[in-house]
């Protein structure tokens, strides 16, 4: 980003009020236009352009446009216009075009620096003041620390093989671009989303310590300003604006095994058999690029004879198959997909707007489907049905930045032409949208083919809103400890940016994992939303059993824990779908007022009740853990801890430090070898008394789209204390027509002495202490489920 010199950037200033309505005000000057509007009490929109009209095309990110508005006072004085709601105020100065957002107490949330903001020949820029101690989060996919203050991030989706983030400096580019920042200042959270998919560069206080400088290569200023004050308010609204994750099929919460590549049908079947023989639960096996015939998309090569028979055989063993789908279509005139794509005029054009652009990816010379075009998306979706008909259950959209080996820029030329749903766009303007629109083509294609099946789409690239179409993983990391540590903050910031369904390649992709690294990464993967082990071609095997018996036993145990936790996780997914609340959350999600919770980027919350403190360093057998206010229990040993302090958790290789909040109700199911193996009829409710807690129990059929029309089962369960250490569990009446599959609730008491049943080993139980997985705690009570309200006293 070039340094500011005032005068280069022409602000839209000397404004005159054109119109004021109930929800908006528009202003003009000879420099351009400004429009402010109120979408909700805590959400303003600010648009600025140097052109004569605002861009008429609809946003690619925003999915909600029908805001009912909010009670607001909109006023104009001699020096400014403003919108005031109960939550805060947005004001724009008429003379210089500077603007400010304040909270309900008048404290500044954002303030622009007009002399450093404005428009130039090649783009527009917005400079904001940064206050001392203001912390910044979100930004989608980033490397480096959790707090993004001090980072320079360029939003330009890039194939960054082996993103050596924490080893070197933070990377400027990654696969996913989400220009959404969350600011935490004096205990209050606010958010800013600049909806502009052009190449953007954000400097969050690096070149100038007190400035948040944003620059876009083209387009207009289109800011959504979120007033908070809680981070949940900001993320809730952001995901209301840009969409929330659809519910995945329940099997997608299981453990998944991938490899670049399992190169033959025989090898895939051997892998599947080995999982079952070794009793390591697994739901999904991935087919990477070697399954194709010469990397021709949607085909199977000679080493995969009778693919339909293969998927059927795997299905009988409880496995789903997910296949990789790259956008580049081999430029082979005899290839049916190419022929039909040509007939549909579905490919991105070269600069002349006529000839298709031909680049190079895995298949060699390739053309690139124009996913920004509705007809092209439909064509692609129809091609994809061939995989679905062969029994492929999910689509892994890779290389969709898009990657292009033909050029040093590693993507399409800026001047390529897309024929989008709303007119032509150069690739420079469309680039960041490509991945999202590919995922959209994939999801919509899957739904068009099987309208009642929940699709599973995984995408590497994306822009704001991509969460509506697919889940994301963090791309090509390496089997190094630094990338294990980075995976934590990457997933947390993705989660804060609306992408609640995310994960990293467990074990690391490039390079060779050690048994210890695989064990630690599997422990982390088991408690992240997307749990997939994946490794690069020519690395040593990385399956749970590949690195010796000790690592295998640990992997098995944590994969089993994952399956035990599925009922809890599914409730969290339902919540993410309904409200945008991430599954994996930074500590400050729940403890925003606590500066220590803000600093901790090596531990996180899984839902409201679990605190995870993964081991992220080689050789570590203990670590400091910060427990926020309240009371906490060691999940494994039942040991109690006071909050608001650091403790040392013992963590021999077998132990992932895991803590539970007093008051927690954690629903757990049995270990299964795959999700649909059994439908648990008895659900254990593990309770840790000594505090209040609640559980939003959620069930549906786990497979169809019926949840969208309300065929779900919900009930609120609460825990409170009574007298000395006892607890009361209350079940509200059930809601929703879906009949619960739960026959009985089994309450497992996890507080105090009774927990000793499962807490055979103390925290310092030696290097091979085995975390118990199926016999934790003591059964306090068991009773039949009911749709009616009920109450149970325990102890």
Residues annotated as catalytic are: 398, 401, 476
In terms of DSSP bridges, do strands 118-120 and 152-155 run parallel, antiparallel, or are they unpaired?
A: unpaired
Minimum CB separation from ligand GLC for residue 452, in Å? 30
Minimum CB separation from ligand GLC for residue 298, in Å? 15
Minimum CB separation from ligand GLC for residue 755, in Å? 41
Q: 414: exposed, middle or buried (C-beta count within 10 Å: 0-12, 13-18, 19+)? A: middle
Q: Residue 6: name the closest of 144, 120, 171, 93 by CA.
A: 120
What residue ranges bind ligand GLC (CB under 6 A)? 260, 288-289, 324, 398, 460, 475-476, 534
505 or 763: whose CB is closer to ligand GLC?
505
Minimum CB separation from ligand GLC for residue 396, in Å? 8
54 or 405: whose CB is closer to ligand GLC?
405
425 or 502: whose CB is closer to ligand GLC?
502
Coil vs helix vs strand at 553:
helix
476 or 552: whose CB is closer to ligand GLC?
476
* 175 contact partners, CB below 8 Å, separation of at least 6: 141, 157, 158, 159, 160, 401, 435, 460, 461, 462, 475
- Ramachandran area for residue 410 (φ above 0: left; ψ -120 to 50: alpha; else beta): left
Minimum CB separation from ligand GLC for residue 538, in Å? 12
Minimum CB separation from ligand GLC for residue 395, in Å? 13
Q: 457 with 487: CB under 8 angstroms? A: no
Edge to edge, the sheet with strand 152-155 lists 118-120, 123-129, 211-216, 200-204, 152-155
Minimum CB separation from ligand GLC for residue 177, in Å? 17
256 or 575: whose CB is closer to ligand GLC?
256
Q: Tell me how far apart the alpha carbons of residues 93 and 28 are, in angstroms, rounded to a whole number.
A: 12
Minimum CB separation from ligand GLC for residue 360, in Å? 14
In terms of DSSP bridges, do strands 200-204 and 211-216 run parallel, antiparallel, or are they unpaired?
A: antiparallel
Q: 477 with 486: CB under 8 angstroms? A: yes
- DSSP string covering 660-683, please? EETT-EEEE----SSGGG---SEE
286 or 688: whose CB is closer to ligand GLC?
286
Which tokens is 13 given? 């200033």
Tally helices (H) and strands (E) across the chain: 12, 50
Q: 519 with 653: CB under 8 angstroms? A: yes
- DSSP string covering 124-136, please? EEEEEE--TT-EE
Q: Tell me how far apart the alpha carbons of residues 529 and 517 are, in angstroms, rounded to a whole number.
A: 19
For 59, which DSSP code?
P
Q: Tell me how far apart the alpha carbons of residues 295 and 309 are, in angstroms, rounded to a whole number.
A: 21
288 or 699: whose CB is closer to ligand GLC?
288
Q: 241 with 43: CB under 8 angstroms? A: yes
398 or 684: whose CB is closer to ligand GLC?
398
For 706, which DSSP code?
G
Q: Tell me how far apart the alpha carbons of residues 683 and 731 are, in angstroms, rounded to a whole number.
A: 14
Ranked by CB distance to ligand GLC, the top (closest) residue is 260
Which tokens is 606 given? 């899984």
Question: Residue 730, Cβ neighbours under 10 Å: how many?
Answer: 14
Minimum CB separation from ligand GLC for residue 326, in Å? 7
* 39 contact partners, CB below 8 Å, separation of at least 6: 23, 45, 67, 69, 70, 224, 241
Place of tokens 């910044």: 136
Minimum CB separation from ligand GLC for residue 397, in Å? 11
* 352 contact partners, CB below 8 Å, separation of at least 6: none
Instruction: Using only the alpha carbons of the chain, give its radius of gyration.
Output: 26
Minimum CB separation from ligand GLC for residue 288, in Å? 5
74 or 399: whose CB is closer to ligand GLC?
399
295 or 469: whose CB is closer to ligand GLC?
295
Q: 356 with 349: CB under 8 angstroms? A: yes
Cα–Cα–Cα angle for 22, 28, 33, rounded to 5 degrees? 90
Q: 186 with 107: CB under 8 angstroms? A: yes
260 or 604: whose CB is closer to ligand GLC?
260
Q: What are phi and psi of 272, to 5 degrees?
A: -60, -45
Minimum CB separation from ligand GLC for residue 22, in Å? 49
For 377, which DSSP code?
H
Which tokens is 2 given? 């070039």
177 or 239: whose CB is closer to ligand GLC?
177
Tell whether omega for the bond before 229 is within 30 degrees of 0, i.e. cis.
yes
Minimum CB separation from ligand GLC for residue 507, in Å? 12
Q: Tell me how far apart the alpha carbons of residues 704 and 222 are, in angstroms, rounded to a whole number.
A: 37
240 or 288: whose CB is closer to ligand GLC?
288
Q: 640 with 631: CB under 8 angstroms? A: yes
The 3-state secondary structure of 265-299, one letter per residue: HHHHHHHHHHHHHCCCCCCEEEECHHHCECCECCC
């Amino acid at each position: 980003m070039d340094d500011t010199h005032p005068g280069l950037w022409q602000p839209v200033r000397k404004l005159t009020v054109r119109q004021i309505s109930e929800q908006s005000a528009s202003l003009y000057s000879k420099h351009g236009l400004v429009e402010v509007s109120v979408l909700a009490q805590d959400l303003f929109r600010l648009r600025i352009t140097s052109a004569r009209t605002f861009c008429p095309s609809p946003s690619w990110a925003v999915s909600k446009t029908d805001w009912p508005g909010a009670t607001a006072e909109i006023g104009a004085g001699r020096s400014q216009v403003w919108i005031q709601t109960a939550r805060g105020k947005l004001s724009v100065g008429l003379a210089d075009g500077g603007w400010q957002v304040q909270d309900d107490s008048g404290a500044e949330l954002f303030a622009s620096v007009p002399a450093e903001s404005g428009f130039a020949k090649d783009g527009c820029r917005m400079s904001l003041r940064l206050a001392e101690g203001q912390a910044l989060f979100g930004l989608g996919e980033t490397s480096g620390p959790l707090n993004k203050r001090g980072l320079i991030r360029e939003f330009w989706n890039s194939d960054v093989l082996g993103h050596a983030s924490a080893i070197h400096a933070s990377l400027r580019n990654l696969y996913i671009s989400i220009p959404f920042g969350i600011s935490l200042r004096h205990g209050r959270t606010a958010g800013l989303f600049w909806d502009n998919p052009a190449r953007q560069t954000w400097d969050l206080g690096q070149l100038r310590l007190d400035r948040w400088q944003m620059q876009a290569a083209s387009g207009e200023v289109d800011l959504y300003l979120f007033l908070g004050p809680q981070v949940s308010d900001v993320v809730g609204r952001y995901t209301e604006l840009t969409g929330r994750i659809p519910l995945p099929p329940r099997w997608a919460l299981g453990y998944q095994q991938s490899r670049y590549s399992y190169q033959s049908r025989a090898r895939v079947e051997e892998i599947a058999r080995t999982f079952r023989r070794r009793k390591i639960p697994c739901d999904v096996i991935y087919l990477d690029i070697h399954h194709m015939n010469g990397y021709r998309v949607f085909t199977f090569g000679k080493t995969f004879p009778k693919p339909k028979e293969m998927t059927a055989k795997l299905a009988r063993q409880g496995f789903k198959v997910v296949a990789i789908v790259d956008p580049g279509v081999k430029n082979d005139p005899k290839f049916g997909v190419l022929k039909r794509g040509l007939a549909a005029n579905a490919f991105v054009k070269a600069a002349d707007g006529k000839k298709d652009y031909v680049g190079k990816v895995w298949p060699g010379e390739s053309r690139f489907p124009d996913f920004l075009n509705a007809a092209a998306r439909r064509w692609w979706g129809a091609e994809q049905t061939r995989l679905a008909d062969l029994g492929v259950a999910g689509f892994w959209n890779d290389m969709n930045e898009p990657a292009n080996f033909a050029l040093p820029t590693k993507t399409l030329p800026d001047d390529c032409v897309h024929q989008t749903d709303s007119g032509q766009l150069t690739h420079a303007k469309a680039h960041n949208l490509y991945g999202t629109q590919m995922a959209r083509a994939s999801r919509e294609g899957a739904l068009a083919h099987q309208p009642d099946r929940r699709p599973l789409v995984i995408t590497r690239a994306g822009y704001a809103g991509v969460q509506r179409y697919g889940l994301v993983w963090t791309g090509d990391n390496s089997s190094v400890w630094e990338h294990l540590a980075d995976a934590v903050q990457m997933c947390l910031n993705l989660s804060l940016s609306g992408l609640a369904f995310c994960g990293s390649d467990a074990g690391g992709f490039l390079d060779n994992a050690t048994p210890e690294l695989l064990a630690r990464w599997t422990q982390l993967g088991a408690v992240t939303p997307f749990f997939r082990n994946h490794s690069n071609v020519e690395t040593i095997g990385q399956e749970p059993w590949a690195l010796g018996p000790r690592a295998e036993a640990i992997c098995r145990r944590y994969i089993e824990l994952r399956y035990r936790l599925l009922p809890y996780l599914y409730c969290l997914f339902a919540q993410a779908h309904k409200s945008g609340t991430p599954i994996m959350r930074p500590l400050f999600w729940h403890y925003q007022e606590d500066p220590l919770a803000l600093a901790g980027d090596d531990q996180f919350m899984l839902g409201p009740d679990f605190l995870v403190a993964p081991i992220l360093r080689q050789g570590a057998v203990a670590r400091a853990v910060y427990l926020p206010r309240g009371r906490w229990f060691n999940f494994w040993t039942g040991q109690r801890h006071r909050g608001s302090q650091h403790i040392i958790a013992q963590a021999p290789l077998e132990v992932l430090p895991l803590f539970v909040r007093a008051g927690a109700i954690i629903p757990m199911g049995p270990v299964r070898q795959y999700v649909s193996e059994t439908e648990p009829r008895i659900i254990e409710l593990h309770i840790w008394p000594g505090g209040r807690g609640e559980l939003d129990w959620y069930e549906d059929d786990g497979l169809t789209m019926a949840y969208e029309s309300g065929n779900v089962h919900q009930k609120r369960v609460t825990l409170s204390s009574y007298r000395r250490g006892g607890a009361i569990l209350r079940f509200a009446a059930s809601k929703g027509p879906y009949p619960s599959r739960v026959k009985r609730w089994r309450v497992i008491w996890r507080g105090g002495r009774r927990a000793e049943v499962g807490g055979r080993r103390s925290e310092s139980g030696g290097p091979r202490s085995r975390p118990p997985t199926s016999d934790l705690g003591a059964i306090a009570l068991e009773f039949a489920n009911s749709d009616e309200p009920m109450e149970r006293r325990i102890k």
